[in-house]
Structure 1
Amino acid sequence: MYITRSKWKWAVAILLFITLAATIYGLFKPVPAGTSYKGEVHYTDDLRFLLNRSSEQDGDRVFNEEIYSAVLEAVEEAESFVAVEMFLLNDKTDGDFPPLSLTLTEALIDASKRGVNVYVLTDPINTSYFSHESTMINMLDDAGVQTIMTDITRLQDSNPLYSGIWRAYLQWFGQGGNGWIENVFEPEAPQMTVRSFLKLMNGRANHRKVVITEETGFVMSANFHDESYFYTNTAFQTSGPVLYDLLETVQAVSDFSDGPDLEAEPSVDQTDGEYAVQVLTEGENFNRVQEMLDDAAPEDTVYAALYFLADTEIVDSIEAAAERGTDIRLILDPNESAFGMDVFGMPNRPVAEDLMNLGMSNLQVRWYNTGDEQFHPKMMAVFNDSGLSVIAGSANFTSRNMRDNNLDTNLYAEMDEGSDTFDEIETFFNEMWTNEESDYTLPYEHYLNPHSSWREWIYRFQKISGLSTY
C-alpha cells in the first residue's frame, strides 16, 4: 500500500511528540515516596570515623582497612536483623583481589541461619542489567535471605538526549537472554545483551552503601566489591535513634521495588550525646552541601575529599566561598579510570583547571597519589573556630548523584573541637594535605588537563546530554 508524504509527516510528528513527552516525563516525574529524604537531627556519643586507605610508602603501595572489618563484625554480632543496601556486590574481576563480596555474602547467610532477619537490596548493575545472574544474589536466595533488586526505572532520568527514546520504545523489550557484547564493566564477566547495554545508557542506579543492625549502622563510600577492595574510602558508624531514619530510607526503596516490609527494631538506649547526626538522601545531599558552602565564613577552612566533582552549582558555591576569603582545600581523584575504562581525567581535571585559573591563593587543589586503585571518598568538612560540620557517604558531588537521578545516602554530623571524631577527621585531612606521614597527595601541576584543546566541548556535551557517569 502506498503511503503518502502527508501520512509520513503525521507519523513522524506523532513519534516526535511521544518521544518529547516521554523525555519530559522521565526528567521531571516525582521521585518515589521516601526518597530525597531529610531525617531528624539526633544526638549520640557513638560516632566513629572509619577509613580504608591505600598509600605509597617508600615506593610500595600499602593498604590499611577499618571499614570491612567493622561491618563484618557487626553482621557476625547481629541478633535481630541486618539490612544491607549496596550498589556493588559482586566478584566480577580479572585481577587477584580478596573475595570481599563472598565474605560478606557468607556472613549474611550465617546470620540468617542463626535466625536473624536479613535483607539485601542491590542494583541491577550486578547482573549487568539482567544480562546474567548474580552469583551472590543466587547464594543469598538459596539460603532464604530476602533479596530486593532495586527498580531503578522508578527514578528520574538523567539523559535528555536518550531517555525519552528509552522510555517510549526500548524498555518494553526487557533485557534478559543470551548476550554477545563484551561486558563493559569487566571483560571476563558474562557478555551483555544489546537490550541490557541500552538500559545501561539510561544511567540510573541505587548507589547507596548502607549496613544496619539492631545495634549499629554504617554509611559508607565503600562497596563490598572485589575489584574495589583496595580503594581509599570513608565511613561513619553510629547508633541510637538515627538507625530508625536509616531503616526508613531502606524501607522506601524496598516499597517501590515490590520488596517486603523490614522486620527490624533497633536497640536504642541513648537519645543524647556530643555528636549531632542526620540522615540525608538524594537531593537533600545537594541542599546540605550548598548550605555548608554558603555558610562558610572567611575564617573557616573547607576540606573536601572527592572521587568526582562536577555539579556546576556546587563548583560555583566553592568559587563564591573562596571569593569571600574561605580557605578551600580540595583533594581529588585524578580520574585515570572508572569501571576498568580510561576516563582521561573527566570530570575532575577540567573542573580543577577552571578553579585554579581563578588565581586565588586560598583555593587549592591536590591530587590523591593513586596507584591502580581509586580515591573514592565523597566527603566535605567545614572547620570553624569551635568545631566542624561534615557530610560523607555514597553521593559523588555530581548532578547525577545529588539531583535525584541516583539513590545515595549520606550522614551529616556536627561536633565540637577536641572530640575523638573531630580529631580523627582533622588528622585525616591534615595528613593528606601535608604528606607528613606518607606521600598521600601530589601537587596540582602533577596532573594537568591532558586535552585542553578539546576538553571544553566534550566535557560540556557530556554534562548537557547526560552521556556520562556524572
Structure 2
Amino acid sequence: MWPWIVTALLVAWLAMGAWQRYKPLPEGLGQAFPERTAEGVRFLADETWYAPSGERHARRRIFDEAMALIGQAERLVVLDMFLFNDFAGAADGQDFRPLSAQLTDALVKRRSQRPALEAVVITDPLNTLYGGLAPAHLKRLREAGVTVVITDLTRLRASNPLWSGAWHLGPRWLGNHHDGGWLPNPLGPGKVPLRSYLSLLNFNANHRKTLVVDRGDGWSALVTSANPHDASSRHGNVALRFEGAAALDLLASERPVAGWSGVRLPGPGALDAPQAPVAGARLQVLTEGAIRRALLAAIEASDSGDRLDVAVFYLSHRELIEALVAARRRGVVLRVLLDPNRDAFGIEKGGIPNRPVARELHAAGVPIRWCVTQGEQCHSKLLLRRPADAGGEVEMILGSANFTRRNLDDLNLETSVRLVGPAGTEALIDAAAFFERRWHSTPPRITSEPFAAHDDASTGQWLRYRLMEATGLSTF
C-alpha cells in the first residue's frame, strides 16, 4: 500500500500547489481605478546622503506627514502597513527612530481626543510572526479602541507553490499561538513556535503602505514605499500625498482586505468613473497586477529622445527588464538607480537580484548607478517618464511595489499611484529633482556610485536569481 499512499500524497501536494498558484483572485484585487483630477498632490521623500568624512545626513518627511494627517482626522483613519513593529534583527542596538511607537502614539492620542473617531489598522501577519507573538503595540491599539486587522493571506495565490501545496494540506490547519514558542524569532526578540517558520516559507505578504483620513468634508490619502518599522527608519523612500476622489478610491481598495476579517470600513464608497476625460494633472490608484500593466505601458509608450528614470529597491521582473532593454534600443534616454542589495537589518546579503540584473542591463547599454548605503536601504519604488517634447505630459508611478514577480504578478497585496500631468506640475518637478539628487553624486553630498562599484555578479548568481524569480523560492 505504501507506493499508493506516497503517490496519492504527491498528487495531492502537486494539485494543491497548482490550485493555490492559479486560483481566482478575490474580488476587488488587481484594480486600476479611474483617472481622477489630481487634488492636493505633494511628492515626499526620505533621503540619506554622506559627507566625504563618511558622516551620514538624512532628511525624513514621510511619517511626519502621516502622523500630521492622523492628528487632524475627525471621523475615520484607515492605515494599511506591511512592517509595523520594532524588530531589528541583527541590527539591534542601533539608533533607529522609534517609528512603530510614534505611529501608535499618534493613533492612540487622536482616539483619546476624538472618541467617536473610527480607526482601523490593517497589517501583515509577519508583525506577529504569523500568530507566534503578541506585540505590545498592537494590544495597546486594541485597548484604545482601534480595530486591528491581521490580513488573511490564505486568500492570496501562492508565490511559493512548491511549499504552499504541502502547507495548505497540513500545517495551515494547526493554527498558531503566542504561548509556548521555543525557536528564536528570526526578526527580533522573543521565541516563536515552529508553526511561525512554516507559515513564513509561503513568502506571501500584504505589502501595501497606505493611509486614508477624513479632512473635514473632504478626504486625504498617502501612498508610500515606507514602513513604520524602526529598523527601516533610515531607509530612503518616496510617497505621494493627495486629496479628493482618488483618496476615496484608495479607501475602496482597502475594503476587500478588511472584509476578509469581517471588518466593514466606514465612509463613502468610491465615486463613479468620470463621464469625460479629465483635463490637467490626473491621479490613478493601482493595485497588484494593475501596477505591472501601468509600468509596462509607460515603458512601451517611451520613444526616441524620451527620458525614463527608474529608482527601485528590487528589479527582477523579466517582462519589465525586457521592456527596458527594448526602450533603450528605441533610443529612450534611460537611467536605472538600484540598491546594491547588500544590507538587510544587520545581515549581509549577496546582491541578488539587482547585481545580476544590473550586469544584464549594463551589457545592453543601460546606464546604471548604485545608491550609496551604509546599513540602510535605497527602498524607493519609482518610475518617471518625461517626453522629449517639452509640451508633452510627464508620468510617474510610485508606491509599495518592487519591480518583481511577487510584487507585480498578483501574489502580494500592493498599492501604487500613477500621476500624469504637465511638466510644470509641482509634484512631478519635485520627483524629478529627487532623482537628480540621488543620481548625481557630488563630493560634498555623496549619494550614488558607478556601476563598476558593484559589478561582481557571477554566472552562479545569475542562475540563482532566475531560479528564485521563476519558482518563488525567494524573499524578493
Shorter-chain TM-score: which interval?
over 0.9
Structure-2 residue corresponding to 1:34: 28
Out of 250, 261, 264, the residue aligned to residue 257 of structure 1 is 261
Structure-1 residue corresponding to 2:379: 376
Structure-2 residue corresponding to 1:10: 4
* Amino acid in structure 1 at the alignment position of 2:143: D
Structure-2 residue corresponding to 1:165: 166
The 5 A counterparts of 1:45-444 are 45-58=39-52, 59-93=54-88, 94-95=92-93, 96-113=95-112, 114=114, 115-176=116-177, 177-186=179-188, 189-215=189-215, 216-258=220-262, 260-265=263-268, 274-358=280-364, 360=365, 363-384=366-387, 385=389, 386-436=392-442, 438-444=445-451
Answer whether contact 1:97 1:226 (CA < 8 A) is retained.
Answer: yes
Answer whether contact 2:249 2:270 (CA < 8 A) is retained.
Answer: no
Answer whether contact 1:122 1:206 (CA < 8 A) is retained.
Answer: yes
Shift of 1:403: 0.8
Answer whether contact 2:225 2:379 (CA < 8 A) is retained.
Answer: yes
* Amino acid in structure 1 at the alignment position of 2:248: Y
Query: Given the superposition, is the C-alpha separation of residues 340 and 194 from structure 1 closer, same or farther in structure 2, using an over 3 Å criterion?
Result: farther
Matched residue SS, 2:256: helix
The 1-side partners of 2:127 and 2:357 are apart by: 30
* Amino acid in structure 2 at the alignment position of 1:251: R
Answer whether contact 2:345 2:375 (CA < 8 A) is retained.
Answer: no
Shift of 1:13: 1.5
The 1-side partners of 2:311 and 2:347 are apart by: 22
* Amino acid in structure 1 at the alignment position of 2:36: H
* Amino acid in structure 2 at the alignment position of 1:15: L
Structure-2 residue corresponding to 1:458: 464
The 2-side partners of 1:300 and 1:257 are apart by: 45
Shift of 1:130: 1.2
1:74-118: CA deviation from partner (whole Å, max 9, x where unpaired): 111111111100011111231322221111111111222212111
1:349-385: CA deviation from partner (whole Å, max 9, x where unpaired): 0100111122x2xx11100011110000011011112
> Which stretches in structure 1 are left out of the alignment for 5+ residues?
1-6
Overall identity of the aligned pairs, in %: 34
Matched residue SS, 2:49: strand
The 2-side partners of 1:166 and 1:323 are apart by: 45
Matched residue SS, 2:192: coil
Answer whether contact 1:213 1:266 (CA < 8 A) is retained.
Answer: no
Shift of 1:182: 2.0
The 2-side partners of 1:422 and 1:408 are apart by: 22
Query: Given the superposition, is the C-alpha separation of residues 464 and 339 from structure 1 closer, same or farther in structure 2, using an over 3 Å criterion?
Result: farther
Shift of 1:390: 0.7
TM value normalised by structure 1: 0.93
Answer whether contact 2:251 2:270 (CA < 8 A) is retained.
Answer: no
Matched residue SS, 1:22: helix
The 2-side partners of 1:61 and 1:387 are apart by: 36
Query: Given the superposition, is the C-alpha separation of residues 379 and 285 from structure 1 closer, same or farther in structure 2, using an over 3 Å criterion?
Result: same
* Amino acid in structure 1 at the alignment position of 2:193: T
Answer whether contact 1:131 1:179 (CA < 8 A) is retained.
Answer: yes
Shift of 1:432: 1.9
The 1-side partners of 2:35 and 2:87 are apart by: 39
1:221-248: CA deviation from partner (whole Å, max 9, x where unpaired): 0111111111100000000101111011
Query: Given the superposition, is the C-alpha separation of residues 218 and 140 from structure 1 closer, same or farther in structure 2, using an over 3 Å criterion?
Result: same
Answer whether contact 2:248 2:270 (CA < 8 A) is retained.
Answer: no
Shift of 1:275: 2.0
> Which stretches in structure 2 are left out of the alignment for 5+ residues?
none
Answer whether contact 1:214 1:265 (CA < 8 A) is retained.
Answer: no
Shift of 1:267: 12
Matched residue SS, 2:226: coil
Answer whether contact 1:387 1:422 (CA < 8 A) is retained.
Answer: no
Matched residue SS, 1:204: coil
The 2-side partners of 1:137 and 1:375 are apart by: 28
Aligned length: 455
* Amino acid in structure 2 at the alignment position of 1:438: R
The 2-side partners of 1:414 and 1:395 are apart by: 18
The 2-side partners of 1:51 and 1:61 are apart by: 16
The answer to which of 147-156 and 458-467 deviates more is 458-467
Query: Given the superposition, is the C-alpha separation of residues 171 and 266 from structure 1 closer, same or farther in structure 2, using an over 3 Å criterion?
Result: closer
Shift of 1:27: 0.2
Shift of 1:163: 1.5
The 1-side partners of 2:261 and 2:345 are apart by: 26
The 1-side partners of 2:408 and 2:345 are apart by: 20
Shift of 1:345: 0.3
Query: Given the superposition, is the C-alpha separation of residues 407 and 339 from structure 1 closer, same or farther in structure 2, using an over 3 Å criterion?
Result: farther
The 1-side partners of 2:86 and 2:461 are apart by: 34
